[in-house]
Structure 1
Amino acid sequence: MTYKALIPVKRLTEVKSRLAPHLSQKQRADLVLEMLRHVIDALQTSNALDAILVVSADPHVLAQASAWGAQPSPEEVPGHNEALHAAAIRERNAGTGALLTISADLPLLHPDDIRQMRNLAEEHAVVLAPSRDGTGTNALLTRPPLAIPYRFGPGSFQLHREAAQDLGLQHTLYTSIGSALDIDVIDDLTALKYLKAEAVRNRNSLVS
């Protein structure tokens, strides 16, 4: 079975508006690209996927994605869920067996997160990875693509879960700090700095 990933990315002029009081537009764009590269690297290193597609209306995002080894997928229609739906339809029609739709802003994502989600997908039609606050969806792995409709936005985790329940699909949750910590507000950046510092301290304690 073919497993692929979709990573949606907004236009760089529109990203991370809730960080605008703290970061300039360029800083926010650079942050998004840095996190996107990390997510692509984690997906590639997992060796659990046959292809990685970046869906965006931003030519610079698509060019960077291509340079980093992902397939650029220009948005076919406006709107976050609508663009993902169009991309997923295309992949399903091309014979893709399972599709992982994952956020671009997961700076602690680890290749093991991807491997474990794929393992869960062997027994479940839907694998959900919630955001740190439990309300959003940071990753959605469906077998086949569009086993449930995209409902990204406020409260998406509950909406996706209810969709799987309503359709009687086997579904499960995957939770780790790598899949849960997305960067939207300044508190998320503070948490990221703390977790990175904690990881360094732990490594140093193992060496000493």
Structure 2
Amino acid sequence: MPKPIIALDADGVLLDYHVAYRNAWLKAFNHLPAPKDSNAYWPVDRWDVRKLDGDELAHFRGFFDEEFWRTIPAVDGAILACNQMHAAGFELVCVSAIESRFENARLENLRNLGFPIHRVIATSSSHDGISPKAAALSLLNPIAFVDDYLPYHRGVPESIHRALITRETNGTPNIGAELGNIDTYHQDLLAFSKWWLENFPKLSS
């Protein structure tokens, strides 16, 4: 019998994009930004950085390369959470809104960190009113999908348990009527894992 699948977002759920963004800024501008708001949702608000545009923005984006996507650190507790779910008999699949050319780098990143994840599905980040992950999730048919970005739950089949990671709240996009589409809310993946393993027998009965 195949194992039931739990689909997991990467940045903000498995991996600490905030830290990676700061390190990319250091490489691009030879300056390590100071912390500004530890409860900011977006990295541009979390760190003391200026808004970029034009050639300067293009220069910065050039550092979001294979090396960047291969070396993002784990969110605190995320590896433990994944090991708990894996040990309980679930297959974990990362569904990430990144360009397909970085799919292997993302998988290598997760494997090098020790995540029990053997598959990454890259969906790109473009979408027309629904989640760019919705089609992939429909095909994958997991029992649960965990993401920290509310719009990426749009169009996800109702048969899939939709869990929202709330994490930092200043400037969060996770507000409004669409919260009604979410089944459960959790501070981080470790909190989800604890809740899921306690409640899955009831949900599946």
TM-score bin (small chain):
0.3 to 0.5
Point out the structure with the larger strand share. Answer: 1
**TM-score by structure 2 length?**
0.42
